[in-house]
């Protein structure tokens, strides 16, 4: 082979490798401009607070601003659709919540297939809900509540956020597993449900610990149980519902996702930095203040968890005949 031919072949090989090298360089340099983190909940909600905390950490760790955008609507579907339709370049991310995997079971006409359209990046937090009753309601414990529901089927009304919310389907699962007939009253949001519980329009409410804890501490509401697998550190005297209804666990969980075709190097970079942020002592303290449990994961572990949650809530909604247009 002549020197000229060898030079030509070397040059050709180098040129062929350039696109892959360029892609690797782009992923390595990520991010080079601000990143949007889209949240499907209103400002001040637990997901919004978590988004701002993790966005702050990622801004510090990756050197580019992570901008939080609240796109409330359709139980989080508006936010998920926004991200699914965005370029898969790592600059538009989704704050994933339990609502994202509940929605397909509740809404028949949903222009989104979460498993097809969103790539799980990593989990952040698991937040229990709280089952509470108005202070004048004559039950003091969860077993007493279950007994009262059995004695007066269909007479106890419990407020929740909308029919596709984690709180509403948590109530559906509780009804099934405790074998009771209570009426779940969906409201436009958690605060409206709390208002009616405080005034006695409904007998109780299922909401996040963050939403209800001040009312519990003031005595206006009586906490009966948290819906996580274990007790909440913020309310250590309040039992987990699973202590009386074995196997019952229903949490609001939060993580990060990206458009489906986002490159593996970018997903891995985000996952590594999210997990590093979750190891930060100050971050741990702030998240613990929300009443949750930090859950770090790999993209593969988060994918497996999402799949299990999707199947779980589809079974609950189908059993409860909870489909909606």
- Identify the domain boundary among 225, 243, 261: 243
Does residue 263 lie in a domain region? yes
The pLDDT value recorded for residue 27 is: 59
Average pLDDT rounded to a whole number, residues 264-286: 96
Does residue 6 lie in a domain region? no
Average pLDDT rounded to a whole number, residues 90-109: 90
Same domain, residue pair 121 and 141 = no
Same domain, residue pair 93 and 107 = yes
Does residue 5 lie in a domain region? no
- Identify the domain boundary among 243, 278, 300: 243
Query: Per-residue DSSP letters for 121-146?
Result: EEEEEEEEEEEEEETTSS--SHHHHH
What's the length of the chain?
Answer: 325
Residues 6 or more apart in contact with residue 251 via CB below 8 angstroms: 98, 126, 127, 128, 129, 166, 227, 228
Same domain, residue pair 135 and 118 = no
- Tell me the per-residue pLDDT of 35-87, one tens digit each, with 9 for 90 and over: 999 999 888 888 999 999 999 999 999 999 999 999 887 767 889 999 999 99
- Identify the domain boundary among 243, 273, 292: 243
Range of the domain at 209: 128-243
Instruction: Kindly report which listed range (13-22, 63-72, 280-289) carries the lowest average pLDDT score.
Output: 13-22
Beta bridge partners of 107: 324
Does residue 61 lie in a domain region? yes
Same domain, residue pair 167 and 218 = yes
Does residue 121 lie in a domain region? yes
Judge contact between 169 and 313, C-beta under 8 A.
Answer: yes
CATH code of 52's domain: 3.40.190.150
**Phi-psi region for residue 200, left (φ > 0), alpha (ψ -120 to 50) or beta?**
left
The pLDDT value recorded for residue 301 is: 98
Does residue 18 lie in a domain region? no
Average pLDDT rounded to a whole number, residues 80-100: 95
Cα-flanking dihedrals φ and ψ of residue 168, to 5°?
A: -65, -50
Same domain, residue pair 198 and 239 = yes
- Tell me the per-residue pLDDT of 227-262, one tens digit each, with 9 for 90 and over: 999 999 899 999 999 999 999 999 999 999 999 999
Average pLDDT rounded to a whole number, residues 19-41: 74
Does residue 9 lie in a domain region? no
Total number of domains constituting the chain = 2
**Phi-psi region for residue 74, left (φ > 0), alpha (ψ -120 to 50) or beta?**
left
User: Residue 284, Cα to own-chain centre: how many angstroms?
Assistant: 17
The pLDDT value recorded for residue 19 is: 46
Neighbouring C-beta atoms of residue 206, cutoff 10 Å: 28
Entry pTM = 0.84
């Amino acid at each position: 082979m002549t020197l000229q031919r060898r030079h030509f072949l070397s040059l050709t090989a180098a040129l062929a490798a350039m696109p892959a090298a360029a892609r690797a360089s782009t992923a390595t340099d990520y991010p080079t401009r601000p990143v949007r983190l889209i949240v499907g909940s209103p400002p001040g909600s637990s997901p919004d607070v978590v988004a701002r905390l993790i966005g702050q950490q990622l801004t510090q760790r990756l050197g580019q601003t992570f901008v939080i955008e609240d796109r409330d609507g359709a139980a989080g579907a508006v936010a998920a659709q926004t991200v699914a339709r965005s370029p898969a370049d790592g600059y538009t991310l989704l704050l994933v919540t339990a609502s994202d995997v509940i929605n397909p079971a509740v809404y028949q006409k949903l222009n989104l297939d979460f498993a097809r359209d969103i790539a799980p990046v990593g989990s952040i937090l698991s937040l229990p809900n709280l089952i509470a009753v108005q202070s004048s309601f004559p039950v003091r414990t969860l077993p007493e509540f279950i007994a009262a529901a059995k004695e007066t089927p269909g007479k106890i009304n419990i407020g929740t956020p909308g029919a596709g919310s984690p709180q509403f389907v948590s109530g559906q699962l509780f009804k099934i597993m405790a074998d009771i007939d209570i009426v779940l009253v969906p409201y436009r949001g958690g605060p409206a449900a709390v208002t009616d519980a405080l005034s006695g329009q409904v007998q109780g409410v299922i909401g996040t610990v963050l939403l209800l804890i001040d009312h519990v501490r003031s005595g206006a509401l009586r906490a009966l149980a948290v819906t996580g697998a274990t007790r909440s550190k913020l309310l250590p005297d309040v039992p987990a519902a699973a202590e009386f209804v074995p196997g019952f666990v229903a949490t609001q969980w939060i993580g990060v996702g990206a458009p489906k075709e986002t490159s593996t190097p970018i997903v891995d970079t985000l996952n590594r930095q999210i997990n590093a942020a979750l190891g930060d002592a100050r971050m741990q303290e702030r998240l613990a203040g929300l009443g949750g449990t930090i859950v770090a994961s790999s993209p593969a572990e988060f994918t497996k968890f999402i799949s299990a949650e999707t199947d779980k809530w589809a079974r609950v909604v189908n059993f409860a005949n909870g489909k909606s247009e």
